[in-house]
Amino acid sequence: MPPRPLTQLTLALLKPDLTANSIKVNKVFAHIQQNDFNIVAHKTLLWSKSDAEAFYGEHRGKFFFERLCGYMTSGHFHALILEKPDAILGWRALIGPTHPPRARINAPDTLRSLYGMTDTRNSFHGSDAVDTATKEIGFFFPEFDIEKWEKDQKEQQKKCEQK
């Protein structure tokens, strides 16, 4: 039996414009399952301005910062920890390009193409690297122990290799 591949975690956000429509949310959750992601943790949140500013702090001073923070405080949204081999690249491929009109041309089967509206109201977020995912998961899920999860992953892989 081939060894079980190590899985990876990523943060996924379903942003307020999408979350306002429960039918769309249900369709996105179906896409997540159809693409073999495991939902490790899930929260529905409503941010204050200070929450949004803390998460998007690296963008402070950029022209879109205030608009982005306003958008992210405009309604409830979902934060998820997704898991599967190559979860970061897999989720980013599933959501597609940041700008939904470009996604409709260049990646018409992606979630942003299907549900996004503008570059700000693009419906989704996905971590772009392992370090970013770790930081972002810690921001939204401080109770989640990534080190324990990684240790459990390695132990499961060892067990599979011993069989």
Catalytic position from the list 42, 78, 99, 125: 125
Q: Which of 109, 80, 77, 78 is nearest to 96 (CA)?
A: 109
Whose structure tokens read 């205030």?
66
**Residue 122 marked ligand-binding:** yes
**Residue 92 marked ligand-binding:** yes
Q: Which residues, including other chains, have CB under 8 Å from residue 14's CB and lie 6 or more apart? A: 25, 28, 77, 78, 80, 123, 124
Do the beta carbons of residue 87 and residue 39 sit within 8 Å?
Answer: no
**Residue 112 marked ligand-binding:** yes
Instruction: For residue 125, indicate whether it is catalytic.
Output: yes
Which amino acid, one-letter code, is at 59? H
Q: Which of 96, 80, 72 is nearest to 10 (CA)?
A: 80
- Catalytic residues, by residue number, are 125
Binding residues for ATP: 15, 64, 92, 98, 112, 122
Binding-site residues: 15, 64, 92, 98, 112, 122
